[in-house]
Chain A
Amino acid sequence: MPGKKRLAVWKLASCDGCQLSLLDLEDELLRIAGAFEIAYFVEASSATAEGPYDLSLVEGSIATAHQAARIREIRRESRLLVPIGACATAGGIQALRNFRDFGPFATAVYPRPEQLDALETSTPVAAHVPIDFELRGCPINKRQALEVLSALLAGRTPKGGSHSVCIECKLRGTVCVMVARQLPCMGPVTHAGCGALCPAYGRGCYGCYGPMETPNTGSWSGWWQQRGMDEPDLRDVFRTFNAWAEAFREESERHGS
C-alpha cells in the first residue's frame, strides 16, 4: 500500500483498555483502516507486517526483561513513538510494586517468584527510550487518540493541553465538589483530558490522568491535612494509577514509605 502511513499498536504490561479505546472508535474505525496501513495490531488482526512504521502507539509499562528489550526494538522501527495510557506514561497501577520490597510482594501471589520473568519495577516507556508525544489517562480518551492519528495524516503536531481537570469542570459547568461538598478531589493537580467525569457524577477526581504540568501537590495535601485526612490516606491518594509519575511519587513519599 504505497503512500499510506504505516500504523502499529503494541501491548506491554497492561489491561488492554487503551487498545480497546481505539477499537471503540466505532464510527471512525473503517475509515481509519482506509486511511492507514494497519501494519501491526495483534489484538485486531492476524496479519502482521514488518517495520519500519510511521507511528507506533504503545500500551503498557515495562515490567519484564523481555519488554525492556522489546521497547528498544519498537523504537528503532518507529518514526514516531507515542505511549498511550497511564501504564505506558507512568508505569500504571502495577508500579505500586516499585515502593515495596519485591521479594515478599511477589511471594504473596507466586510460590516460586524466581521463575517469573518480572522486573522488580514497572516503569514508563520514556524511562527506556525517547518518545515523541504521549497520551495520558487510565484509560486514554479515544478522541485524543483520534487527534494523534489525524495530526499524523496532516503532518502536524497533535494538540493537547497541559492544564488541570479544574478547567474542564468550569468548561462543563460542574459545581466544584471540593468547595460545595467537601469531597477530596484531585482535579486541581490532575492533567486534563477525561472531560472532568468524576465531579460530574458527584465524586472527587482520583487522578487517573496523572499530574498536570507543575502541580502544587503540597498545597493540596495541606488543605486536606487541615480537614483531617491522615498520613496513610494522603500517601495512598497519590499512589494509584499514576503512582510512579514524578510529582505524585514525590508527594506520596512525603506522607509515608
Chain B
Amino acid sequence: MALRTVEVGYLARVEGEGSMRIVLRDGVLEEARFSIFEAPRFFESLLRGRKLDEAPDITARICGICPVAYQTSATQAMESALGIRLDDRLRALRRLMFCGEWIESHALHVFLLHAPDFLGYDDAIAMARDHREEVERGLKIKKIGNELIALLGGRAVHPINARVGGFHSAPHPRDLAPVRERLAWARDAALESVRWIGGFELPELERDYELVSLRHPERYPIDEGRLVSNRGLDIGADEFEAHFEEEQVPTSTAKHARRKGGGAYLVGPMARYSNNWDRLSPLGQQAAAEAGLGRVCRNPFQSIVVRAVEILYACEEALRLIDSYEPPEAPAVEAQPRAAVGFGWSEAPRGVLYHRYEVDVEGRIVSANIVPPTAQNQASIEEDLRELVLRNQHLDDEALRRLCEKAIRNYDPCISCATHFLRLEVERR
C-alpha cells in the first residue's frame, strides 16, 4: 500500500488540546500537520475596555503553566505605556519570582511529560516504578520552584502579588531564608539531573534554524533584553511587529508566525541557550558540556538537556538574587494613566512572549496584541516533523508515531497559550 497515514487525535503530555497528522503517498510527504483544536477564548477582545491594571491578572489566565511570564510581559508593557521603569531592587524581585516559574515549568516538562518518551514509558508514574529516585528528585525540584513563586506571589498558579509598577507587598529578607536553603538543595539536584538526562539516547536531527531569543548585556535572559537571532536580528520590543507577521495557513487550524521576508523561526530553550551560552554561569556551562551540549544547539531532541541546564541556572540565579536582596523602598511605583501604546516581553519557559497594549487617558485598554511562544514555534514544529518523517520512513507506523510525538514535545507546546491569539479555523476529521 502506497498511502500511509500516521495520526494522533489528541496529543498526550502537552498543555492543551492538539493533534498531529502525517500523510505519505508513495514515499512522498503530502502532509505533516500539527493542529490545534483548543476552544478559542477571545482574550484580546475581552481585554478591551478593562482597566490597564487588570491586564496582569486577566492575561495570567491564558496559561496556568506560565502565569508569571504573562504577568511580567503585561506589567512591563503597561509600565512602558505609563512611562515608568522599576528600580534595580524591584526588577530583581520580579526576576526572582520568574526563576521559580522556570524551575517548576521546566521540571514539569522534563520529568513528568518528556522524559518518559526517552525511556519508553506512557507516563512518569509508570516511569517511577523503575526510576523512582529520579522522578522523586524531579518532583521535589518542581515543588521548590512552586514554593518560590508562592512565597513571592501568594500561590503557584495565578499568583496574586504582582502588579503594574511592582508588587502589592515585598518580602522581608528573613522570609527568604527557608526557600534559600531548599534552593541550594535544588541546585545540586538539578546538577544530578543534567547528568542523568545527558545520558539519554537522543534521536539524530540537526536543522539550520533561525534561533530567536532575548539577550541581555549581563545576564542570561529571563525578564528583559533585546530580541536577537543568529541571523542578525537585534530589536527592541516596539519593533517586534515590524519584523514578524502571522501567516494564514489554509490547511491548518492556526496562523503561523514568520519573520517578515524570512521563514519559520524557533523560540525557547534552544534559542536562548545558543544565543546566550556566554551568559550562563560557569557551573551551567560545565554541566552543559558534560551532558554533550556544544555552544550552539541545533538538535531539537537536545532541548530536554537544555531545559535541565536552565533549571540549574534558574536555581543558581535565584540563590544569587536572594543573597543580594535588599527590600525595595516601596513595593510599587505609582503612575497616572495617559493615552499611549506600551510594549513588553519576557522569556516564558517556552520562549519569548510579546504583549502590546493601547491604553486611553482613563487608563482603559483600547486594544491588545499577545504573541505567545507556541504560536511562534508551530511552523518549526511542522518543519521538524517533515524532516523526521522523510528520514525515518523505514519505521513502522507505531514507531514513527511515537518519534513524531516525541518531536512535538521537544517544544513543550502550550496549546492553551497559543489558542488565545490564534485565528482558528477548526477542522475535525
Interface residues of A (CB under 8 A from B): 11-21, 23-24, 26-27, 29-30, 33, 38, 42-48, 60, 63-64, 66-67, 92-94, 96-97, 100, 105-106, 108-112, 115-118, 122, 138-139, 194, 197-198, 200-203, 206, 208, 233, 236, 240-241
B29 to chain A, nearest CB (A): 24
Closest B residue, CB atoms, query A102: B42
Given A43-B15, A44-B125, 11 further pairs, Cβ under 8 A: A16-B416, A26-B140, A27-B139, A43-B12, A44-B13, A45-B122, A108-B45, A108-B48, A111-B423, A117-B37, A117-B428
Please indicate which of the listed interface residues A48, A100, A108 has the most CB atoms of chain B within 10 Å of its own CB. A108
B39/A203 in contact, CB under 8 A: no
Any chain A CB within 8 A of the CB of B61?
yes
Please indicate which of the listed interface residues B128, B132, B158 has the most CB atoms of chain A within 10 Å of its own CB. B158
Question: Among the listed A15, A44, A110, A118, which residue makes an inter-chain contact with B62, where contact means beta carbons less than 8 Å apart?
Answer: A15
A-contact 0/1 string along B40-73, CB 8 Å cutoff: 1111111010110010011001111101000000
A195 to chain B, nearest CB (A): 9
Closest B residue, CB atoms, query A67: B39
Closest B residue, CB atoms, query A104: B45
Interface residues of B (CB under 8 A from A): 10-17, 37-46, 48, 50-51, 54, 57-58, 61-65, 67, 104, 108, 112-113, 116, 122-126, 128, 132, 135-136, 139-140, 142-143, 146, 154-158, 160-161, 163, 168-169, 331, 405, 414, 416, 421, 423-426, 428
CA gap between A116 and B108 in the complex, in Å: 32
A139/B12 in contact, CB under 8 A: no
Question: Among the listed A11, A64, A109, which residue makes an inter-chain contact with B42, where contact means beta carbons less than 8 Å apart?
Answer: A109
Known: A47-B123, A117-B39, A206-B57. A97 touches B46 (CB 8 A): yes
B13/A45 in contact, CB under 8 A: yes
Q: Which residues of B contact A18 (CB under 8 A)?
A: 64, 157
CA gap between A53 and B51 in the complex, in Å: 43
Q: Which residues of A contact B62 (CB under 8 A)?
A: 15
CA gap between A93 and B70 in the complex, in Å: 15
Question: Among the listed A13, A115, A208, which residue makes an inter-chain contact with B425, where contact means beta carbons less than 8 Å apart?
Answer: A115
A46/B64 in contact, CB under 8 A: no
Question: Among the listed B42, B123, B140, B155, which residue makes an inter-chain contact with A44, where contact means beta carbons less than 8 Å apart?
Answer: B123
Question: Among the listed B45, B58, B158, B421, which residue makes an inter-chain contact with A139, where contact means beta carbons less than 8 Å apart?
Answer: B158
5 A-B interface contacts by CB (under 8 A): A16-B416, A17-B63, A108-B45, A206-B160, A240-B57
CA gap between A96 and B74 in the complex, in Å: 20
Closest B residue, CB atoms, query A107: B45
Q: Which residues of A contact B136 (CB under 8 A)?
A: 30
CA gap between A236 and B393 in the complex, in Å: 56
Q: Which residues of A contact B157 (CB under 8 A)?
A: 17-18, 20-21, 24, 139
CA gap between A94 and B58 in the complex, in Å: 10
A109/B156 in contact, CB under 8 A: no
A203 to chain B, nearest CB (A): 4
A210 to chain B, nearest CB (A): 14
A14/B48 in contact, CB under 8 A: no
CA gap between A13 and B40 in the complex, in Å: 8
A138/B139 in contact, CB under 8 A: no
Q: Which residues of B contact A17 (CB under 8 A)?
A: 61, 63-65, 67, 157-158
B112/A20 in contact, CB under 8 A: no
Known: A16-B15, A42-B10. A109 touches B154 (CB 8 A): no
A201/B154 in contact, CB under 8 A: yes
B67 to chain A, nearest CB (A): 7
Q: Which residues of B contact A108 (CB under 8 A)?
A: 42, 44-45, 48
Q: Which residues of A contact B57 (CB under 8 A)?
A: 206, 240
Known: A45-B13, A118-B39. A203 touches B160 (CB 8 A): yes
A109/B122 in contact, CB under 8 A: no
A98 to chain B, nearest CB (A): 11
Q: Which residues of A contact B65 (CB under 8 A)?
A: 16-17, 20
B426/A30 in contact, CB under 8 A: no
